Amino acid sequence: MISLHEVSKSYSSGEGIFKAVESVSLTIREGSIHGIIGPSGAGKSTLLRMMNVLEPPDSGKVIVGGQDLTRLPESQLRVARRSMGMVFQQFHLLHNRTVSGNVAVPLELAGMSKRQRKERVEECLQFVGLQDKAKQYPARLSGGQKQRVAIARALAHRPAVLLCDEPTSSLDSVTTGEILNVLRHINETLGVTVVIVTHEMDVVKEICHEVSVVEQGRLTDGFALEERTARNVPRHKPSYRELLLGKAGVSDV
Amino acid sequence: MFDFSLMLEKFMDFRIQIAEAVGETFLMVGISVMAAILLGLPLGTMLYLTAKGQLRENATWSMILNGFVNIVRSFPFLLLVVFMIPFTRFLVGTAIGTIAASVPLAIVSIAIYARQVEQSLFEVPRGVVEAAQSMGASKLKIVYKFLYVEARSGLVLGLTTSTISFISYSTVMGVVGGGGVGDFAIRYGYQRFETELMAAVIVLMIVLVQLIQFTGSLISRWLDKR
């Protein structure tokens, strides 16, 4: 699906050259949920941004759907990016547009007709369970709701991949669970490949099929987590008691 | 302090001249506001885009555009008016009159508003641009579907502040026969020792500026959904 070949990126700062990513090769399997974990400043976000060339690598190749994105001219790169939705830690919604206006933006960019747009926006909002908030402005939403709008926006153009940069890092633990359920649902029902950059161990444990460990700009480890299916994942919303004490906490009551 | 009934009386005596002066001010400021929107907005956008670390980072263009804006703004305005006479004559055929006076005023307006635009755009979080890029938006679309949308209340407030400066600048236009309220207040009020008339015109200008600021703030607040 996505493969990075020996990608490197360095920045020159005042005191010399900082190597953010150093010759990393990585393949994301189609249909998987792939976690990229590591401490802050390890280069995980840079790595993720290389996958849609928001961050052009200094060297190496970025192969998505059989084409090397680093060699594409800008106009074709823009088209290629439309098949890859992106979700951010700080949501990056347009605060001066309504929820449905935000979800419509990528469709407007693609030149979709107004009627089709309306239909697709409704579908996407329904998918993340926010159809009742369509006419509201993002300022009135909670963090979790904002992130769901951002996810609906990223899905609008029916992407094959969803790139998530710390999607739950500014959310509380319960909301994190909700967002992870949405991402898992997207992966299972729409077959969208999901790449998640995070520093939270629990996020990886909860939904990732495969994980890559990034430390100091290098890929230091990579392995598959035990096979997960929809069945062994708790579907109900866990209480704070459960989250803090585990299952034992529930039976204590 | 002032005899208000006398002020009103003087005001009524000169209402025709005052109306004419107000018309001239509106014409000069109106042309300037148009210039600010049509040319200042793109110029400010270019200042933003060519700055370091931005979408069209370009040190040469950044220097040229910043140089232009700084030079225009560092001129004492009266000297700019005089300095620009040849250009004004070339552009509108004469250097005297309200339309001719609008030329230097428009040039200053473009520079002033461009700076306000640049500042408003810098206030848009970087992430918005990144999100736009991730959606495959072209640079032009990033500007008007993302940056202008998020910066719109700042753009309106900036235009309000600028418009009030334009009114202030327009008051010296008597030197090239531009007329206007300021010129009227100086010639009829100050130079002919009609202090009450001058005060009445100042009150008129205060009301005018208040109205502009009130309207601008109202629109800006209405546009701001953040």
| DSSP string for A162-198 | EEEESTTTTS-HHHHHHHHHHHHHHHHHH--EEEEEE
Kindly report the nearest CA distance between residue A99 and chain B, in angstroms: 12
**What is the pLDDT averaged over residues A147-161?**
96
Q: Is the CB of residue A154 less than 8 Å from the CB of residue A162?
A: yes
CB contact under 8 A, B134 and A54: yes
Asked if A52 is an interface residue toward chain B (Cβ–Cβ < 8 A), one would say yes
Closest CA to B97 of B85, B80, B111, B110: B85
Q: What is the pLDDT of residue B1?
A: 59
CB contact under 8 A, B137 and A94: no
Closest CA to A133 of A150, A114, A157: A150
Helix (H, G, I), strand (E, B) or coil at B56: coil
Chain A residues 159-188 within an 8 A CB cutoff of chain B = 163
Query: Predicted confidence band at A15 (pLDDT cuts at 50, 70, 90)?
Result: confident
Kindly report the nearest CA distance between residue A79 and chain B, in angstroms: 6
**What is the pLDDT averaged over residues A113-131?**
95
**What is the pLDDT averaged over residues A201-216?**
93
User: Which of B18-37 are b and which e, b meaning 16 or more Cβ less than 10 Å from the residue's Cβ?
Assistant: beebbebbbbbbebbbebbb
CB atoms within 10 A of CB A244: 10
pLDDT tens-digit series, residues A39-61: 988 999 999 999 999 999 999 99
- For A52, half-sphere exposure in the C-beta direction (CA atoms, 13 angstrom radius) is 29
CB atoms within 10 A of CB A113: 9
Classify strands A2-13 and A59-64 as parallel, antiparallel or unpaired.
antiparallel
Task: Tell me what ipTM this predicted complex has.
Answer: 0.87
- Name every chain B residue with its beta carbon within 8 A of the beta carbon of A86: 131, 134-135
- Residue among A81, A90, A97 minimizing CB distance to B135: A81
Q: How many CB pairs under 8 A join A and B?
A: 66
- For chain A, domain boundaries: 2-83+159-251
Chain A residue whose CA is closest to B124? A94
CB contact under 8 A, B225 and A139: yes
Distance in angstroms between the alpha carbons of the first and the last residue of chain A: 48
- Residue among A81, A92, A110 minimizing CB distance to B128: A92
For the B4-223 domain, the top CATH level (class) is: mainly alpha
Low-confidence ranges of chain B (pLDDT < 70): 1-2
A16-20, A45-49, A187-191, B160-164: least confidently modelled range: A16-20
CB atoms within 10 A of CB B150: 24
* pLDDT at A229 > cutoff 50: no
Stronger pLDDT, A17 or A35, i.e. the higher one: A35
- For chain B, domain boundaries: 4-223
- Name every chain A residue with its beta carbon within 8 A of the beta carbon of B131: 86, 88, 92-93
Kindly report the nearest CA distance between residue A142 and chain B, in angstroms: 14
Fold that domain A2-83+159-251 belongs to in CATH: Rossmann fold (3.40.50)
Asked if A118 is an interface residue toward chain B (Cβ–Cβ < 8 A), one would say no
Query: DSSP string spanning A42-101?
Result: SSHHHHHHHHTTSS--SEEEEEETTEEGGGS-HHHHHHHHTTEEEE-TT----TTS-HHH
Asked if A94 is an interface residue toward chain B (Cβ–Cβ < 8 A), one would say yes
CB contact under 8 A, A109 and B141: yes
Chain A residue whose CA is closest to B224? A96
Residue with tokens 């014409």: B27
Determine which helix (DSSP H) or strand (DSSP E) holds A253, and give its type and residue range: none
Kindly report the nearest CA distance between residue A81 and chain B, in angstroms: 5
Residues on chain B bordering chain A, Cβ-to-Cβ distance under 8 angstroms:
125, 127-128, 130-131, 133-138, 141, 145-146, 149-150, 152-153, 223-226
Helix (H, G, I), strand (E, B) or coil at A104: helix
* pLDDT at A126 > cutoff 90: yes
CB contact under 8 A, A95 and B150: yes
Chain A residue whose CA is closest to B132? A106
Q: What is the pLDDT of residue A212?
A: 94
Task: Report chain A's mean pLDDT, rounded to a whole number.
Answer: 90
* pLDDT at A251 > cutoff 80: no
- Name every chain A residue with its beta carbon within 8 A of the beta carbon of B138: 75, 78
Which positions ≥6 away from B134 have C-beta within 8 Å?
A52, A54, A81, A84, A85, A86, A163
Q: What is the pLDDT of residue A3?
A: 93
CB contact under 8 A, B149 and A94: yes
Chain A residue whose CA is closest to B152? A96
Residue with tokens 């148009």: B34
Asked if A35 is an interface residue toward chain B (Cβ–Cβ < 8 A), one would say no
Strand-pair partners of A55: none
* pLDDT at A253 > cutoff 60: no
Chain A residue whose CA is closest to B126? A92
Chain A residue whose CA is closest to B223? A96
**What would the two tokens of residue B193 be?**
């020792």
